[in-house]
Amino acid sequence: MVPIQMVDLKRQYTKIKSQVDVAIQEVLESSAFINGGAVQKFTEELQQYLDIKHVIPCANGTDALQIAMMALGLEPGDEVITPSFTFIATAEVIALLQLKPVFVDVDPQTYCLDVAQIEKAITPKTKAIVPVHLYGHVTDMEPLMAVAAKHNLYVIEDNAQAIGGTYTFKDGTTKKAGAIGHIGCTSFFPSKNLGCYGDGGALFTNDDALAAKIRMVANHGQSARYYHDVVGCNSRLDTVQAAVLRIKLPLLDEYINARRAVADAYDAAFADVPQITTPYRAPYSYHVFHQYTLQLNGADRNELQKFLAEKQVPAMIYYPVPAHRQKMFEHFGGADFNLPVTDTLTTRVISLPIHTEMDADQLDHIIQSVKSFLNNHPA
């Protein structure tokens, strides 16, 4: 059996090696390493895929969030509502810009921002909401956008884990995750569903004026060469990464289908295991399974992780410490936030390998290893 990886990027690369090698060689021969032709072409192709007017590439997903908040003109002291149960970058950027993160609990089924709790967290200082489409499940965006409109708030979608995901509105219409709020942000980190071979990211918007501001902020605040209208930063997707992403973008739906097939197999295998709650799929969300995350009920997570490691099965905990309990947010009174669902999930979740190249032998070994441990450790 091929050794099991959380994400097997080498086997994925092998399948597209000839195309990737040619594309990278073309960039080397053109020597247009910054803003080369592949960057513009990828931008246009991603716009078409997402059915959105503007895609602005940048250096990474964290930069995308920062640029979004800068482009919206958020000022020190402004409050931004976001979940604590997420990768730290979401809240880190808020603090970096001297804004105040206001943490709201997540839905116990979807693990995404609990829309029903947003309104009570709004104050006169609230300026934006940053929902995170965690693990590949899309946040319930229709009621969230209604709350934002009611209170005149911006919505920045953290779509780093759900590119290719789809949200279905009550009237049956659909939109891609990241294309619903005022700005969508994503990461092209190599392990993402659409990943490059280094760092990369992008912002999305349908607002022409906002798109112009985002481009300006991402390029040293320039409105024209050497004319700097606002304080900006230097954040761009390099041509080599764009060339790789151009090859992988047409395969994204195929990659998602492969991940969903693995998730289906896990769901079926663990359906009757009392110590396991498998990932929920809300009817409004087309889950793209960036992670496959179990919730354990009465089982020792650390011992399971140790047992799986002995069986050569990697398993990760995303995330063991929520943002509001991180030392970096003590001065915001982080630990004072009452987030019982978040605190419970951080002690119970564990993610199993899921990727586009997983074969039947690997999948069976993972499933049998998990079941073996739980059969010997009943709840």
Q: How many CB atoms lie within 10 A of CB 101?
A: 23
What are the backbone dihedrals phi and psi of residue 132, each rounded to the nearest 5 degrees, phi first? -115, 125
Q: Which of 100, 127, 176, 192 is catalytic?
A: 192
**What burial class does residue 314 get, using C-beta atoms within 10 Å of its C-beta: 0-12 exposed, 13-18 middle, 19+ buried?**
middle
Q: How many CB atoms lie within 10 A of CB 166?
A: 17
Print burial letters for 189-223: b (CB count within 10 Å at least 16), e (below 16): bbebbbbbbebbbbbbbbeeebbebbbbbbbebbe
Residue 327 annotated to the active site: no
> Could you list the active site residues?
192
